[in-house]
Structure 1
Amino acid sequence: MRILLVEDTHDVADAIVASFGRRGDAVDHALTRVAADDLLALQRYDVIILDINLPDGNGLSLLADQRRQGVTTPILMLTARLEVDDRVAALDRGADDYLVKPFDLRELEARVRALARRAQRDPSEGSTITYADLEVDIAGRVVTLGGQPINLTRREFGVLEALLINRGRVISKEQIFERIFSFDQGDVGLNAVEIYVARLRKKLDGGEVSIKTLRGLGYQLFASQ
């Protein structure tokens, strides 16, 4: 999952980036409204975490601009304001959720995951996706194949999540790369995707699900049964 964090408080931002990074998510961090606009012009995100108070403006205006432009990316607002009117204003302008500071990082992670699930998958699906003999608990990051658990690194899980959400469709190497690496990891090349796909393919070997490579197009997860 690729996340945009717009937060000018360094210790809060560092904690959020580290927390999601440990789960294998790619987080781009913007300190200001202007920096956030620049990133949004370059990249699509699965979820945006947006602070209301920014040094060069109000996060609510960025939220409103995104909705006016037709952007449907889930947006979770962070606020130090306790007034109900402020929270209502955020929701009325198109926010999907909000958290009042200080907050528990585990709750933030859970809320972001819930927003991403609602946006990316069929509403009838819960946290667990079953595809042939592969079962993946997205929230718990537990994977079983033929009833047996398989251990995946955070990057391998990120690749599997991208393929599983897009099962039945071809997903390009660039799309996978964008989901698992952030802009500050610019020293990582596209070939890294091939490495993680190869490792994941090996771990899925022997099951009913495999990864097909379509030269020049990308990858596709398909079931043999």
Structure 2
Amino acid sequence: MENFKILVIDDERGFLNALCRNIEAHGVKTVYTESASEALIIAGESKPDLILTDAELQDMDGFALCRVIKENPGTGNIPVIIMSGKDIEEGDIVKGYEKGADDYIIKPFSIKVLLAKINAVIKRYGKDSGKNTVLRKMGIELDPESRTVRLNKKVVALTRKEFDLLNLLLTRSGKVLAVNYILETVWGYDPALYNDPHTIEVHISSLRKKLGANTGKRIKSVIGVGYKLEI
């Protein structure tokens, strides 16, 4: 994790400074701010490997900030962990996941637990796995390192989740992937807390359209189970 840079956002200056010192003591670089609007500028300019934000900020709550980050093509592939108080309700956790959050951590927390979560999320994004082999199947060329997709040599613009979903389908092509497996692998959701198949349905529909009729129809729905990409 020593080569990683994390953007930390919290409007409690004392906590923010102490947290960044603790993270940096473990060899991870940090950039930080108390402002959500400033965080958006920093995220776009410095391209951190991960964003760690508090749920309650002065100018924009952490959920809205997460949504804006994920919807922006320039920052949409940056993972986000939301910090929140111990009185958080289950509905708030679900709300965060729906806005694109990759994980949650409840205050107060130990630095060891936080670093373990950061490491797990970054690994899930493949940033330290070395798995940068370009996938080529059915006229699709998917490059995990540059996070670009080409179909018959033409660039296809995908959101971060659409890219991750296609990556999974291509990697496991020909196999039926259960809804819970996709939610856990692509979104990082705990199926015990969130297992709404509509989340996947929306992204599958968009992915089919972007891949065009001939290729898109290869993504098959398996009723009551999940999806598969036919070879």
Q: TM-score when scaled to structure 2?
A: 0.51
User: Separation in 2 of the partners of 1:12 and 1:24?
Assistant: 19
Q: Distance in 1 between matches of 2:34 and 2:58?
A: 8
List 4+ stretches of structure 1 deviating above 2 A.
121-124
Deviation by residue 1:99-139 (Cα, 9 ceiling, x = unmatched): 11111121111101111122114498xxxxxxxxxxxxxxx
Partner of 2:11: 8
What code does the residue aligned with 1:74 have? P
2:101 is the counterpart of 1:98: no
* Contact kept? 2:40, 2:69, Cα under 8 Å: no
Q: Measure, in 2, the Cα distance between the counterparts of 1:36 and 1:122.
A: 27
Compute the displacement of 1:97 (Å).
Answer: 0.2
Which residue does 2:221 correspond to in 1? none
Indicate yes or no: 2:33 matched with 1:27: no
Deviations 1:159-184 (A, max 9, x none): xxxxxxx9xxxxxxxxxxxxxxxxxx
Please, which of 71, 76, 84 is the counterpart of residue 81 of structure 2? 76
Q: Which residue of 2 aligns with 1:55?
A: 58
Q: Work out the CA distance in 2 between the residues paired with 1:58 and 1:30.
A: 14
Instruction: Please say if residues 9 and 33 of structure 2, whose CA atoms lie closer than 8 Å, have aligned partners that are also in contact.
Output: yes
2: distance between equivalents of 1:53 and 1:92?
A: 17
**Structure 2 runs not aligned, ≥5 long:** 132-144, 146-231
2:113 equivalent among 83, 86, 107: 107
- Find 1:89's aligned residue among 95, 102, 112: 95
Instruction: Please give the alpha-carbon distance, in whole angstroms, between the structure 1 residues aligned to 2:130 and 2:47.
Output: 21
Distance 2:35 2:105 in 1: 19
Alignment of 1:1-225 (within 5 A): 1-70=4-73, 71-80=76-85, 81-119=87-125, 120-122=127-129
Gaps of 5+ in 1: 125-165, 167-225
> CA offset at residue 90 of structure 1?
0.2
In structure 2, give the amino acid aligned to 1:89: K
The CA distance in 2 between the partners of 1:42 and 1:102, in whole Å, is 30
**1:41 positional shift:** 2.5
Compute the TM-score of the two structures, normalised by the length of structure 1.
0.52
